[in-house]
Amino acid sequence: MFKKRETLTQNIAYMGLMAAINVIFVLLTYFVPFLIFILVFVLPLTSVIVTIFCQKKYLPIYMVATIGLCLIATMNNFSDTLFYVIPALISGVVFGLLIERKISPVWIIFVSSLLTTGLSYAFVPLIQFIYNQNIIEVFLKVFHVDGFKYISFMVPCFIYLISLIQSVLSYIFIKASLPKLGINIESESRFTPLLIASLILLIATGISIPLFPAFSYFFSLLFIYFSCYIATLLSLKKKTYIYVSFGVIIIVQFVLFATLYSVIPNPFGFLLIDGLFILIICLGIVENYLIANRHNVK
């Protein structure tokens, strides 16, 4: 069952089977609403399988068929298809394409989460037009933060965090499932691309403060994402000085935050948290370039 499809008939039949599985799960959410949270993991997996085992030129057929059938299945409430099904479906295809190209997990999750965030934003006006309901405002009211003065700064972060959590959990689910199908996922990440991405996002954070203040925390969150991955790579080296450095960095950051927070104008005070990750990146530069080069010279 899990092998490359060559002919048009084989591709269409396989895609039809996967589309049917997707629709069945969508229909089940009517009877068990909690399954919608499982659906966002199943849809990416089926899309990954289709992307890997079917010819790429037939992918639009699979996507159109799945979206069309899901829209029919959710005629009473299109919002589930728009806000959950379509982003999960498209992110799954992206997962599959990047996995085939042996892209590192950090980039797969990053691209997928950004794509899901963009799609979620894109469908908000459509859902509001159809149902006269702003789904972002609904979420904010659920978490009782709709009255927060600087909520416009938090909304992009809120949506991205949801997308990031979904992408991470989807990746974990897919990574656990694909080896059973004979598919291996690249797991190695190089430091230099992560460093470049982190520095670009740190600069974007600084530029956005005067120009696009509402997006400053969004860029900061992306910067923290890559910085956390760098911290993970450093911790995996299992060197004593790295662990000690982490402790010193946390203490220094705590002192800096406590000292400077009161003098930073609202609502930018919490951007001082970036200082912690800037110091971690500096540690990464020392470890990967200075110390590594010294060992190479020896």
SS (H, E, C) the chain: CCCCCCCHHHHHHHHHHHHHHHHHHHHHHHHCHHHHHHHHHHHHHHHHHHHHHCCHHHHHHHHHHHHHHHHHHCCCCHHHHHHHHHHHHHHHHHHHHHHHCCCCHHHHHHHHHHHHHHHHHHHHHHHHHHHCCCHHHHHHHHCCCCCCCCHHHHHHHHHHHHHHHHHHHHHHHHHHHHHHHCCCCCCCCCHHHHHHHHHHHHHHHHHHHHHCHHHHHHHHHHHHHHHHHHHHHHHHCCCHHHHHHHHHHHHHHHHHHHHHHHHCCCCCHHHHHHHHHHHHHHHHHHHHHHHHHHHHHC
Q: What is the pLDDT of residues 134-158, one digit of tens each?
A: 777 777 777 676 677 777 778 888 8
Residues in the chain: 298
Rounded to the nearest 5 degrees, what angle is found at the Cα of 17, between the Cα atoms of 61 and 69?
Answer: 55
pLDDT for the residue numbered 294: 62
User: 43-82: per-residue pLDDT in tens?
Assistant: 788 888 888 888 888 888 888 888 888 888 877 767 767 7
Alpha carbons within 13 A on the beta-carbon side of 294:
6
Binned at pLDDT 50, 70 and 90, residue 159 comes out as: confident
Query: pLDDT, tens digit, for every residue of 161-180?
Result: 888 888 888 888 778 777 77
- Output phi, psi for 205, to 5 deg: -60, -45
The answer to whether 100 touches 54, Cβ cutoff 8 Å, is no
Contacts of 111 (CB under 8 A, 6+ apart): 94, 98
What integer pLDDT is reported at residue 110 of this predicted model?
94
- Check residues 148 and 261 and name the one with the higher pLDDT: 261
Give the integer Cα–Cα distance in Å for 92 and 115.
11
pLDDT: is 110 or 143 the higher one?
110
186 pLDDT higher than 80? no
Q: Which two tokens stand for residue 177?
A: 């499932």
Domain ranges of the chain: 8-181, 191-297
Other Cβ atoms closer than 10 A to 206: 15
The whole-angstrom separation of Cα 23 and Cα 72 is: 9
Question: What is the per-residue pLDDT for 207?
Answer: 94
Return the structure tokens found at 3: 């092998």
What is the pTM assigned to this prediction? 0.83
Query: How many percent of the chain have pLDDT more than 90?
Result: 26
Both tokens of 110, joined, read 């990053």
